[in-house]
Structure formats: structure tokens, C-alpha cells
């Protein structure tokens, strides 16, 4: 095919031959980029190690689903759709980019026509218009993007600049194509027709009346602009949120697989060697693992995490998004492109405040939203470990921690009273709760945990659970006074040593009992026994045990009377962290006459009740209680009874009903209590 213009490689740009110019541009650009990336890698090299090279197939599967498949994006349908569109566009354009580069550097450039050419033209068009929409979004400022004054300044101008540059890239590409096609048409040469309504096609139409010399300038000019813009973007991206374009692949591949548990204090250091570790937790930036630092680089500052964070919603000083962006800014500041890195300043007290770190309930809503699978809980726990190591624990938490150490429960109550809940007079007459006495006893262990054992109100959940197990014919026992707190929240509040002591004690007791199965009515205990403890028999939550019996037709219920409307609240550690959403609903739906509605935030978007375990003792600075927001959501959904399946949710809901002045309008009941009441 005869060409109307010479290739950019052969043309002359201000007395420099194209090939020379573009080789220089390419090499300089690439070297610059390599240097920048190398500097960015320095903190990763200095960071703590992280075990992310196992389970390659599972990781590849994650890559396919979350990176390639953009799985999380549709959760925010508007922004999500846009992202899927231009992400696909970028992927399609990858090959085109290299071919395009070769036009300026090689005598025999790569020619890609045909189907791929058409597809990539449309891809560029879609990307271009997406950029315009995104710029418009930045100007209209969706709430999610807002940056409260205490967290710094919004980077709106920078964001718009970058979006505009990408748009420019697409436009330059299309001008190049359009001017070429227009030039061919002018010379009445056979031209490949540009795809209808693509950006190139539009430019071609627009250039119909443009003279040949102008077309030539447009042709070569747009190529030059494209190449310069391309390499500028390449080198500029690592300075902001756009770095995720390069790092997202790695962040998703190396993402945490075992989300139920918390990372060890130090990868590669066994529990019994921990005494040799000088410092626990994250105190300075370099105490993070390399994967965590990679997370800081990869965050796209989209704000999805914070918009679903319950702590953020009630005005606590915690916003996950800013935990990350502040760390990123720290990294950029302390590891500059030129000059020495200055590191080693404590994070808490500088970029983070104590309250910020203690305000988290570890509900996991942030991790459920993040399209890049950025991890938050491990980072918060590590920061807490650092604070605990330095003795900087809020006074309100010191008392329950001390009680856990001396009495095995956060209330400081006596060990010998732990099983007294089962001795309540009317209850004990109808339902026996045997205590394990050596091995060879029961098949099933009912692990009660501290709040159900000691709290006057919550003990009735224990009794209801025992009644259900009895009715289902389970041969079960409890550990009794030998049981200690599962330590689930001791661990998540950073007291790893105390957690390990509790775990060791309970594991020994459970193993000595010889049980083959564990059931619990406490989702925190459920999560701990399943994920934090090792080598235990299988663990189930009472809702799962009931659902199995319901499906088998072995558990039936009397109809409810009255006109109550029930809303089920998914506890964080049953639902979001362990995926148990359907079983509790199955049980409720098996109760005849029970009207059930869904709240607007349910399942993996459930709104945390306020937190359990040690979170009950912490006094955060907040504008409102999380529980109050939640009971208001129940009322909004038309319910007057809120059903939970967690003792901590129950405490928070009942408190919230009082504080919100909704007594008489809303009641709370535990799933086990309701089931025990309605069992026929």
C-alpha cells in the first residue's frame, strides 16, 4: 500500500531524524521509569518479609477474578462500569501501544490491522469518553471523594490533570489515524476506512477540508505528542494514585488468602521463638511488610472502603482510605527520588493518632469493598501490637486485659462462676448441661465463651442454645470453669502474647476432652476456633447446626403470633468474615408466619453493631453509636424486631434501642432465643 506520509521514523523533526528522536525518547523514558520504580522499591526491600509465594493456583484464580474480571467493581455501579470500560480499553490497547512505538523507531514497523485494529480504535474511543465523564465526576465531587480538612487536601487538580493526559493520549492517537486517513482520501488513495463513529473516524471527518501540509503537521505532531505524553505518564504515574496501573496486578496476585485469621507477629518466626523478637508490631514505616507497602502504592484513593466503614460513618477519627494515603504520602516524603531516605520515625503520634488506630472494630467492610483487595485488618492489628509493646494502651482497655490475664475473662469475674449460667433454677430443672470431665465424654463441645457465661442478660442465649442442642439430640457438654476466653479480640487488639496463652490453655482443654465437633453461639469464638486456633475438630455456629436440622426436617417451629416484622442483622464475624449468610435466614424462614424484611445494608454490606470483645470496653470519640444507626436502619426497613446471631450484637442493639429512645418501638432478640422459644 502506498503511503501518503512517510513513517515517523523516517521523517525529520526539526533537523533530527525521527528514528533517532524516538529512540532517544523511548530509551530516556524507559530508563527514567526504571529508575523511578527502583527508588519506589527501596522501602519494600527494607520492609519486613511476607509469605506471599504459596498457593500459586489460588493466587492466579484471584488474579483472573479480581484483576482481570474486575469482580469488585460493579458494587459501585456507576464508577464500576466506567472502570471496567476503560480498564478493558487499556488491556486491548497494550499491543497497539508497542506497535505504535515501533512506528517511530523501526524501519519496518509492526502493522496491526484488521479486526484488532477496529477493536483497538473503538477501545481508544471508549477510553477517551470515559476520561471526559471522569473529569466531569471530579468536578461534581461525589461525596466519597471528599477529603476532610484533618486528613489533608484533595488532589482534584492532579487527578484531572492525569485524566486529561490519558484523554490526550487517546486523542493524539486518533488524530494520527484521522489525519492519515484524511490525507489518503485527499490523495484519492485507497484508504483503510476507520471504524464508524470511532474517535479516529470523527477526526477524519473533521479533517476533510484540511490542507495537506496541515495534515502532515497534524500527523507527525500527534505522533510526537503521543509518544511524549505516553512516557510522561509512565514516569508520572508512580508519583500518585495512578501507580496502581502498574502495581495492581501484583497487589491482587499477592493478596491475602486466609482472611479469617491475623498475620503472625513476624513471618518466619515460630510462636515459641517470639521471645527473641525485640520489637512487636508496627512502630515505624519499615516495620510494615513489603506487601503492605505495595498496598499503600496501589490504593487508587477511590474511597469505597471509607464510605462503607462504620467507624467513619459515626464520626470516629478512622477512615481506612486515609490510613493508606497518609502512609503513601509518608513513603513518598521519606523515600525521595534523589537523596537519602530518612526513616524510622514513629507512625502513631505523627501521621496516625492513637484514637484512629483503636477505633477500628475489625468488621472487614473496608476489605470487602476494595477492588484491589487491599488489606486493612492486619495493618491495624500490627499497629496495635506496636502500641501494646510500648505500653500505650488506653486505660479503658487495660482493666479488661488485666482481668483476662488473671481471670480468663474481661469482666474480672471469678473462674469458678463461669458455668453458673447453666445452674439457673428454672432452667436447670428442664435442661441439663453436662460439664466435660476427662476424655471419652460427649461428642460435641458447646464453647460458650466469656460474655455468654457471665453477662446476666446474655446468659439466656447460652441457655437457649443448650435447649436447642438438647432438642436436636446432640450429645454435648461444656468445658465449664476450665474454659477461658477464646482470645479472639485480645489478638485483634494487639495483645498477641496474652492471646497465645489463652489459645494454648483452651486448645489443651479441648484436646483433652476428646470431642469430635465444636458448636458455638458466639461468632467471635467461632472465628477464633476456626481460623486462629490450629488442629481443632470442625467448628460450627449454632445457626449452621440448626439449618442442617431444618433442611433434614428434624427441627420444626410453632408459628409466631402477632404482627411483628423481623429484620435479620448479619454479625460481622458470622457473615462477612465467614460467609454464613443463608443459614440463619433459612432458620428464620422455617418459622411459620414470620414476616422478614432485609435492611438496606445486609450480607457482606452489613453495618457493624459497634464491635465485640474488647471493643465493648473502649470509649471512642464518636458522634453517634454504630448500634443506633443500625436500629434506625431496621426501623427504616419496616421492622420492629431485629434478630441477631451474636451476643455482642445483642448487647449493642439493646443499648442502642435505649439510647435512641426506641423502647416500645423496637426489640432485639437472638436467633437462638427465638428458635428455642418457637421450637415445637
**Is residue 659 close enough to count as binding other proteins by CB under 8 A?**
yes
Contact pick of 402, 423, 558, 665 for other proteins (by CB under 8 A)? 402
Contact pick of 416, 425, 534, 600 for other proteins (by CB under 8 A)? 416
Q: Is 447 exposed, middle or buried (0-12, 13-18, 19+ CB in 10 A)?
A: buried
Binders of other proteins in range 617-636 (CB under 8 A)? 619, 625
Give the shortest CB-96-to-other proteins separation in angstroms.
57
- Asked if 659 and 629 count as a contact pair (C-beta separation under 8 A), the reply is no
Smallest CA-to-CA distance from 378 within 387, 368, 388, 367 is with 367
Provide the mask over 259-288, with x wherever binding to other proteins is found by CB under 8 A and - wherever it is not.
Answer: ----------------x----x--------
Q: In what order do the strands lie in the sheet with 565-568?
A: 595-597, 565-568, 641-644, 667-670
Contact pick of 413, 517, 596, 605 for other proteins (by CB under 8 A)? 413
- Asked if 464 and 672 count as a contact pair (C-beta separation under 8 A), the reply is yes
Cell 477501545 sits on residue: 123
**Is residue 311 close enough to count as binding other proteins by CB under 8 A?**
no
Give the shortest CB-397-to-other proteins separation in angstroms.
8
Q: For the chain, count helices (H), then strands (E).
A: 27, 10
Stretch that binds other proteins, among 81-89, 408-416, 428-436, 558-566 (CB under 8 A): 408-416
Stretch that binds other proteins, among 18-26, 402-410, 630-638, 641-649 (CB under 8 A): 402-410
Cell of 185: 482520501
The enclosing H or E element of 69 equals: none
Stretch that binds other proteins, among 23-31, 355-363, 503-511, 655-663 (CB under 8 A): 655-663
Is residue 143 left, alpha or beta, with left meaning phi > 0 and alpha meaning psi from -120 to 50?
alpha
Choose between 118 and 481: whose C-beta lies nearer to other proteins.
481
Stretch that binds other proteins, among 230-238, 256-264, 373-381, 658-666 (CB under 8 A): 658-666
Contact pick of 187, 396, 437, 556 for other proteins (by CB under 8 A)? 396
Smallest CA-to-CA distance from 476 within 509, 517, 439 is with 517
Q: Which residues of 113-123 are buried (b: 16+ CB within 10 A; e: fewer)?
A: eeeebbebbbb
Relative to beta strand 539-541, strand 476-477 is unpaired
Choose between 83 and 316: whose C-beta lies nearer to other proteins.
316
Cell of 591: 418459622
**Is residue 498 close enough to count as binding other proteins by CB under 8 A?**
yes
Binders of other proteins in range 451-470 (CB under 8 A)? 456
**Is residue 414 close enough to count as binding other proteins by CB under 8 A?**
yes
**Is residue 663 close enough to count as binding other proteins by CB under 8 A?**
yes
**Is residue 389 close enough to count as binding other proteins by CB under 8 A?**
yes
Give the shortest CB-619-to-other proteins separation in angstroms.
7
Contact pick of 283, 304, 407, 577 for other proteins (by CB under 8 A)? 407
- Asked if 493 and 614 count as a contact pair (C-beta separation under 8 A), the reply is yes
Give the shortest CB-401-to-other proteins separation in angstroms.
7
Stretch that binds other proteins, among 83-91, 331-339, 368-376, 383-391 (CB under 8 A): 383-391
Choose between 132 and 659: whose C-beta lies nearer to other proteins.
659
To 10 degrees, the CA torsion angle through 647, 649, 654, 659? 140
DSSP 112-174: --HHHHHHHHHHHHHHHHHHHHHHHHHHH--GGG---GGG----HHHHHHHHHHHHHHHHHHH
**Is residue 390 close enough to count as binding other proteins by CB under 8 A?**
yes
**Is residue 655 close enough to count as binding other proteins by CB under 8 A?**
yes
Distances (CA, A) of 33 to 25, 29, 116, 244: 12, 6, 28, 15
**Residue 446: strand pairing partners:** 519
Cell 447453666 sits on residue: 422
Stretch that binds other proteins, among 136-144, 189-197, 424-432, 651-659 (CB under 8 A): 651-659
- Asked if 599 and 632 count as a contact pair (C-beta separation under 8 A), the reply is no
Contact pick of 286, 355, 405, 632 for other proteins (by CB under 8 A)? 405
> What residues line the site for other proteins (CB under 8 A)?
275, 280, 388-393, 395-398, 401-403, 405-407, 411-416, 456, 495-498, 501, 619, 625, 655, 658-659, 663
Amino acid at each position: 500500500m502506498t503511503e501518503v506520509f512517510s513513517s515517523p521514523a523516517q521523517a525529520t523533526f526539526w533537523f533530527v531524524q525521527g528514528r533517532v528522536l524516538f529512540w532517544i525518547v523511548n530509551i530516556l523514558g524507559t530508563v527514567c521509569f526504571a529508575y523511578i520504580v527502583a527508588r519506589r522499591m527501596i522501602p519494600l526491600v527494607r520492609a519486613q518479609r511476607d509469605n506471599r509465594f504459596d498457593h500459586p493456583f489460588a493466587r492466579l484464580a484471584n488474579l483472573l477474578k479480581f484483576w482481570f474480571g474486575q469482580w469488585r467493581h460493579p458494587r459501585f455501579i456507576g464508577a464500576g462500569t466506567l472502570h471496567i470500560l476503560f480498564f478493558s480499553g487499556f488491556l486491548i490497547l497494550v499491543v497497539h501501544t508497542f506497535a505504535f512505538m515501533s512506528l517511530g523507531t523501526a524501519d519496518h514497523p509492526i502493522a496491526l490491522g484488521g479486526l484488532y485494529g477496529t477493536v483497538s480504535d473503538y477501545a481508544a474511543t471508549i477510553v477517551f469518553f470515559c476520561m471526559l465523564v471522569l473529569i466531569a465526576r471530579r468536578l461534581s465531587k461525589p461525596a466519597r471523594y471528599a477529603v476532610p480538612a484533618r486528613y489533608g487536601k484533595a488532589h482534584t487538580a492532579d487527578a484531572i490533570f492525569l485524566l486529561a493526559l490519558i484523554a490526550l493520549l487517546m486523542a493524539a492517537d486518533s488524530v494520527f489515524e484521522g489525519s492519515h486517513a484524511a490525507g489518503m482520501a485527499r490523495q484519492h488513495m485507497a484508504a483503510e476506512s476507520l471504524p464508524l463513529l470511532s474517535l479516529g473516524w470523527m477526526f477524519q471527518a473533521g479533517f476533510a477540508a484540511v490542507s495537506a501540509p496541515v495534515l502532515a503537521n497534524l500527523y507527525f505532531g500527534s505522533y510526537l505528542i503521543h509518544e511524549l505524553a505516553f512516557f510522561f505518564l509512565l514516569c508520572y504515574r508512580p508519583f500518585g494514585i495512578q501507580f496502581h496501573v502498574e502495581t495492581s496486578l501484583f497487589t491482587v496476585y499477592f493478596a491475602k488468602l486466609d482472611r479469617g485469621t491475623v498475620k503472625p507477629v513476624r513471618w518466619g518466626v515460630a510462636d515459641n521463638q517470639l521471645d527473641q523478637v525485640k520489637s512487636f508490631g508496627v512502630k515505624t514505616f519499615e516495620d510494615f511488610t513489603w506487601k503492605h507497602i505495595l498496598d499503600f502504592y496501589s490504593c487508587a484513593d477511590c474511597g469505597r472502603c471509607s464510605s462503607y466503614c462504620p467507624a467513619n460513618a459515626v464520626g470516629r477519627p478512622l477512615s481506612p482510605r486515609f490510613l493508606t494515603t497518609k502512609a503513601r504520602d509518608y513513603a513518598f516524603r521519606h523515600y525521595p527520588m534523589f537523596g537519602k531516605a530518612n526513616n524510622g520515625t514513629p507512625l502513631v503520634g505523627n501521621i496516625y493518632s492513637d484514637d484512629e488506630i483503636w477505633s477500628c472494630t475489625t468488621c472487614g467492610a473496608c476489605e470487602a469493598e476494595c477492588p484491589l483487595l487491599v488489606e486493612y485488618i492486619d495493618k491495624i492489628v500490627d499497629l496495635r501490637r506496636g502500641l501494646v509493646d510500648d505500653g500505650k494502651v488506653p486505660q479503658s482497655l487495660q482493666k479488661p486485659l488485666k482481668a483476662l490475664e488473671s481471670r480468663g475473662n474481661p469482666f474480672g469475674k471469678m473462674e469458678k462462676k463461669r458455668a453458673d449460667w447453666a445452674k439457673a433454677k428454672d432452667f436447670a430443672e428442664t435442661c441439663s448441661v453436662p460439664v466435660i470431665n476427662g476424655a471419652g465424654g460427649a461428642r460435641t463441645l458447646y464453647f460458650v465463651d466469656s460474655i455468654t457465661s457471665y453477662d446476666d442478660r446474655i446468659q439466656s442465649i447460652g441457655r437457649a442454645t443448650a435447649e436447642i442442642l438438647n432438642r436436636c439430640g446432640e450429645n454435648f457438654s461444656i468445658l465449664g470453669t476450665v474454659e477461658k476466653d477464646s482470645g479472639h479480640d485480645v489478638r485483634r487488639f494487639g495483645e498477641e502474647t496474652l492471646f497465645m496463652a489463652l489459645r494454648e490453655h483452651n486448645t489443651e482443654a479441648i484436646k483433652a476432652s476428646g470431642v469430635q465437633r465444636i458448636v458455638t453461639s458466639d461468632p467471635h469464638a467461632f472465628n477464633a476456633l476456626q481460623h486462629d486456633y490450629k488442629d481443632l475438630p470442625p467448628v460450627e455456629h449454632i445457626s449452621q447446626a440448626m439449618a442442617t436440622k431444618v433442611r433434614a426436617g428434624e427441627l420444626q417451629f410453632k408459628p409466631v403470633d402477632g404482627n411483628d416484622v423481623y429484620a435479620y442483622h448479619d454479625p460481622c464475624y458470622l457473615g462477612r468474615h465467614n460467609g454464613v449468610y443463608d443459614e440463619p435466614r433459612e432458620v428464620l424462614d422455617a418459622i411459620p408466619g414470620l414476616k422478614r424484611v432485609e435492611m438496606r445494608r445486609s450480607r457482606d454490606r452489613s453495618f457493624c453493631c459497634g464491635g465485640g470483645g474488647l471493643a465493648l470496653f473502649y470509649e471512642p470519640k464518636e458522634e453517634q453509636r454504630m448500634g443506633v444507626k443500625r436500629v434506625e436502619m431496621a426501623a427504616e426497613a419496616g421492622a420492629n424486631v431485629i434478630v441477631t446471631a451474636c451476643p455482642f450484637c445483642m448487647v449493642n442493639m439493646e443499648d442502642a434501642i435505649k439510647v435512641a429512645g426506641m423502647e416500645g418501638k423496637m426489640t432485639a432478640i437472638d436467633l437462638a432465643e427465638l428458635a428455642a422459644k418457637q421450637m415445637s
